[in-house]
């Protein structure tokens, strides 16, 4: 039997070879990226990767090492793609997100929908926001009534200094009035009061194609967090939070590989929830909050990867 120290020396020697070969492989990945950038070819080629994984698995000599080789090369190819996404960003090949950055929101001549559980927060938020506008504009805005007719005639209408407020019974109803253009904004609680989850509410934002503009806290407690929502793809200056969603199948490692785009780029995820969107086959929509701004290079790298590899990836907002 070999001495332990002797075995470890052999392992160290092999590890140095592995690192050397890994760096050579990544250099070739850079050349692949240069080719794809010049030709417009996509980074992620699922068929090529599946074929490659099957091939390396067959090179191994036992079931255990075959499984290990497949997992090892999944990581190697994943890191190769991330290097390519990084180079695409550096070469300015990042597809614009479409968000327009603005300094402040204008609530004059505007209206916002809210629900009963966000009433006190809405009054405080809009009263505070209105201070930036002149008195004449505020009076003109406050004097203009919100249209209420037909099925909407039973909604309660109240006023703050800079924005009309329209009471709705549910998140769904509030989304409908924004969709119809009856209001400019939604001001709603993040959490569902009954369950404490946000996924069902965020799912409505994704479903309607709306965007989060700002987060507002009445207290440090999670149930006292509210969001301002709009149809417009806007981002306030200084935005440092991003909400995203995407879909993934119920297969081993699907979420793990997608989340690697965050860890590889040293991004901080501070919330994750999911909702079932299909049962046959079983599919999920995941909602994540991450720290950062859409103009940050690590964020751009991660978005490139998620756009390429996840299904129905969406940015729900870049806000503060």
For range 5-11, the mean pLDDT: 94
Tell me the CA distances in angstroms from 135 to 127, 141, 163, one per residue in order: 13, 10, 13
User: pLDDT band at 280, cuts 50/70/90?
Assistant: confident
For the stretch 179-226, pLDDT in tens is 999 999 999 999 877 677 788 899 999 999 999 999 999 999 988 999
pLDDT score of 177 more than 50: yes
Map tokens 């940050």 to a residue.
296
pTM of structure: 0.82
Closest to 310 measured CA to CA, from 261, 264, 275? 261
The torsion angle over the Cα atoms of residues 18, 23, 29 and 30, rounded to 10 degrees, is 180
Cα separation, 105 vs 87, whole angstroms: 35
Map tokens 């050349």 to a residue.
31
pLDDT score of 227 more than 60: yes
Task: Give the torsion sign (CA, 83, 87, 90, 96).
Answer: negative
pLDDT score of 295 more than 90: yes
For the stretch 13-60, pLDDT in tens is 999 999 999 999 999 989 988 888 888 888 888 899 899 999 999 999
Cβ-proximal residues to 176 (8 Å cutoff; 6+ apart), any chain: none
Instruction: Tell me the pLDDT of the chain averaged across its residues.
Output: 87
């Amino acid at each position: 039997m070999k001495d332990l120290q002797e075995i470890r020396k052999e392992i160290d020697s092999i590890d140095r070879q592995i690192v050397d070969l890994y760096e050579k492989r990544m250099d070739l990945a850079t050349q692949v990226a240069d080719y794809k950038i010049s030709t417009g070819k996509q980074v992620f080629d699922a068929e090529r990767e599946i074929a490659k994984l099957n091939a390396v698995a067959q090179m191994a000599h036992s079931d255990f090492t075959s499984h290990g080789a497949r997992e090892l090369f999944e990581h190697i190819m994943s890191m190769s793609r991330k290097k390519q996404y990084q180079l695409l960003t550096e070469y300015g090949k990042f597809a614009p997100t479409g968000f327009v950055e603005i300094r402040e929101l204008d609530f004059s001549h505007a209206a916002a929908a809210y629900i009963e559980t966000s009433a006190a927060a809405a009054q405080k938020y809009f009263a505070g926001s209105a201070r930036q506008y002149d008195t004449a504009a505020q009076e003109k805005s406050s004097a203009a009534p919100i249209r209420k007719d037909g099925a909407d005639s039973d909604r309660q209408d109240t006023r703050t200094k800079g924005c009309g407020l329209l009471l709705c019974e549910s998140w769904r109803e509030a989304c409908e009035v924004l969709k119809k253009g009856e209001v400019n904004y939604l001001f709603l609680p993040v959490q569902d009061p009954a369950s404490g989850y946000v996924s069902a509410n965020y799912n409505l934002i994704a479903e309607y194609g709306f965007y989060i503009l700002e987060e507002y806290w009445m207290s440090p407690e999670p149930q006292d967090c509210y969001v301002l929502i709009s149809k417009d793809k806007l981002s306030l200056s200084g935005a440092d939070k991003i909400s995203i969603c995407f879909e993934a199948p119920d297969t081993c490692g699907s979420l793990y590989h997608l989340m690697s785009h965050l860890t590889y780029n040293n991004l901080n995820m501070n919330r994750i929830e999911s909702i079932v969107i299909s049962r046959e086959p079983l599919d999920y929509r995941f909602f994540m909050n991450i720290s950062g701004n859409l103009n940050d290079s690590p964020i751009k790298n991660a978005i490139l990867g998620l756009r390429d590899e996840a299904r129905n990836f969406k940015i729900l907002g870049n806000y503060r």
